[in-house]
Amino acid sequence: MREDDTVNNVNYYVQVFSEQNIILETMTLEYVHHLLDDLLVGLSYKSVSLIRDGKNDFQWYKSEDDSKLNGGTVEYESNHDYNYNSLRLQKIINNVRFDFHFTPEVISKENYSVDNGTVIGESTTGSGRTIGLNFTKLGYNNDFSLGYYKENENLDTNDPKNVSFLWGYNYSSPNIVFNGTIDYTKSEKISGLVEPYTMIDIEGILFLFNTYGIGYEYTNYKYDDIGESSDKYRITEQNINWLFFGVSFDL
């Protein structure tokens, strides 16, 4: 990352190299109750634990000749533990399944320290209230789905207002299972601390013989105009590619 600045009519820039180690643990418990033969309600509890350790190396340069100035390293760590509940209703009509999802607003505290505890604090994080409806056309060995999800703004956490459209396809046979999804999300700016964006995420996972898995995911972010900005190196678009493999065993 590079940032430019000017102090006393002298142009400088700083380059930052970041390294992070992230451990994410989640646990979900759901209780499902059949109200009718084809209508059920599910109440779920989700617990999240996120631990991040990182290091940023800073190096300042003079813009006119790229000569080195001061440099330094900052190490930091954060712990974020929170939980929330969700509601799910499911109704099946002929070969079409309707899933309604509701998650209330989530607000939690993230504790962090910098340089081995010399600076200790906390920040407010979370998400807005989410409502979603998903339609799935059930087939003999393949399913098609279409979803719509809306997340309200969360002013306490500077979380934007999001609207998402999802398309999904599942194919299964005795030895092959394929899952494919497309996610289109549009966010809206609600405060000066939020940069609105448009995201497209495409993911495909292929499972062979119920043991081996290979997947590919592509994500594109396009950040909207945030007005006049002195940062000429501001990121306006990101393209992220993931390729992953997995092996599962039944014990």
User: Is position 217 within any domain?
Assistant: yes
State how many domains the chain has.
Answer: 1
User: Is position 2 within any domain?
Assistant: no
User: Is position 129 within any domain?
Assistant: yes
On average, the pLDDT of the chain sits at 86
Q: Supply the range of the domain harboring residue 195.
A: 23-54+74-247
Per-residue model confidence as pLDDT tens for the chain (251 residues): 777 777 777 788 888 888 989 999 999 999 999 988 889 999 999 999 989 899 989 898 888 888 888 888 888 888 888 899 999 999 999 899 999 999 998 888 888 888 765 566 677 777 889 999 999 999 889 999 999 999 988 776 667 789 999 999 999 998 999 999 999 999 887 666 567 889 999 999 999 988 899 999 999 999 876 555 555 556 678 899 999 999 887 76
Q: pLDDT tens, 73-104?
A: 888 888 888 899 999 999 999 899 999 999 99
User: Is position 143 within any domain?
Assistant: yes
User: Is position 16 within any domain?
Assistant: no
pLDDT at position 230, please?
54
User: Is position 200 within any domain?
Assistant: yes
Q: pLDDT tens, 211-240?
A: 899 999 999 999 876 555 555 556 678 899
Q: How many CB atoms are closer than 10 A to CB 157? A: 19
**What pTM, to 2 d.p., does this model score?**
0.72
DSSP result, the chain = -EEEEEETTEEEEEEEEEEEEEEEEEEEEEEEEEEETTEEEEEEEEEEEEEEEEEEEEEEEETTT--EEEEEEEEEEEEEEEEEEEEEEEEEETTEEEEEEEE--EEEEEEEEETTTTEEEEEEEEE--EEEEEEEEE-SSEEEEEEEEEE--BTTTTBPEEEEEEEEEEEE-SSEEEEEEEEEEEEE--STT---EEEEEEEEEEEETTTEEEEEEEEEEEEPP-S--S-TT---EEEEEEEEEEE----
User: Is position 34 within any domain?
Assistant: yes
What CATH number has the domain bearing residue 130?
2.40.160.60
